[in-house]
Amino acid sequence: MQRRTYLTATAGVAAASAGCLTSALGGNDGGETVLDPPADQQYDSGKLPYPAYGQVLPEFEVPDPLAGDVVVSDDLGGTLVVTAFFASCPVECVRLIGQLAGVQQGTVERGIDDEVTFLAITFDPERDDAETLREYGERMNIDMEAGNWRFLRPESAERAETVVDEKLGVTFDRIGAGESERLPGYDFRHLSLTFLRNPHGIVERAYRTDRPDHQRVLSDVETVVEATT
């Protein structure tokens, strides 16, 4: 199944205009996992257009403009929570990042923040520069002082498509200025998808929603951390 075809086919059902396409889909390819297969899975992981339960999360290399370095995902130890967004998004990304901010706070409160890294990759590098991402983190109550949240910004729109769409399967389409009712400039139609990757590089969960229950995600994260440290 082609990812672009999948986005087009589902857009009319889940989002007629700009926004996120959400549903609960999972899979099970029998990889080296800690968690049981998700109870709400409908398809095998191999039939999904993005990495899912039991599959390897593809390696990616993206700059962190706030830290001034480049993050190579496979070089990061511990558990990863990975998602994609754009800071101008007026609705669904606010929900998504807000829920993940709650998960991050939970890792701090439970003393497992050193074992978990959050990677939020923008697919709008044209607008999301370092200052924009810094202000966005403050607005979304991200605890940047905790040291386990990193905003990543691909070098170009083409690089964003390679990493976010082609590697991670988080499909997005740019909508030109004047075509969106939500933003004065250009907008995006996109999936909301968050990955929980264990220290072995295997996907434990692919939460395909813009409203992941932060308590559920935190429980999953804590279970993976406890089993792998």
Average pLDDT, the chain: 88
pLDDT at residue number 12: 33
Residue 163 tokens, joined: 């990493």
Task: Say if residue 216's pLDDT is above 90.
Answer: yes
Residue type, 199: P
State the binding site for Cu cation: 89, 93, 190
**Average confidence (pLDDT) over 113-141:** 98
Task: Determine which of 1-5, 54-58, 79-83, 139-143 has the lowest per-residue pLDDT on average.
Answer: 1-5
User: CATH no. for residue 11?
Assistant: 3.40.30.10
- Summarize pLDDT for 170-208 with one digit per residue, the tens: 999 999 988 888 998 899 999 999 999 999 999 999 999
Strand partners, 115: none
- Which segment of 28-37, 161-170, 207-216 scores lowest on mean pLDDT? 28-37
pTM: 0.87
pLDDT of residue 147 exceeding 60: yes
Rounded CA-CA distance 82/97 in Å is 11
Q: Tens digits of per-residue pLDDT, 3-49? A: 433 343 333 333 323 444 333 333 334 459 999 999 887 889 999 99
The annotation places the binding site at 89, 93, 190
Give the pLDDT confidence score for residue 41 in this predicted structure.
75
Domain carrying residue 19: 3-228
**Structural domain count of the chain:** 1
Report pLDDT for 184: 87
Cα separation, 151 vs 67, in Å, equals 9
Bridge pairing between strands 149-152 and 203-207? unpaired
Residue 197, helix vs strand vs coil: strand
The predicted model gives 64-84 an average pLDDT of 97
State the pLDDT at residue 4.
Answer: 38
Which regions of the chain does DSSP assign to beta strands (E)?
A: 19-21, 61-64, 69-72, 79-85, 116-122, 149-152, 172-175, 187-191, 194-197, 203-207
Over residues 72-86, mean pLDDT: 97
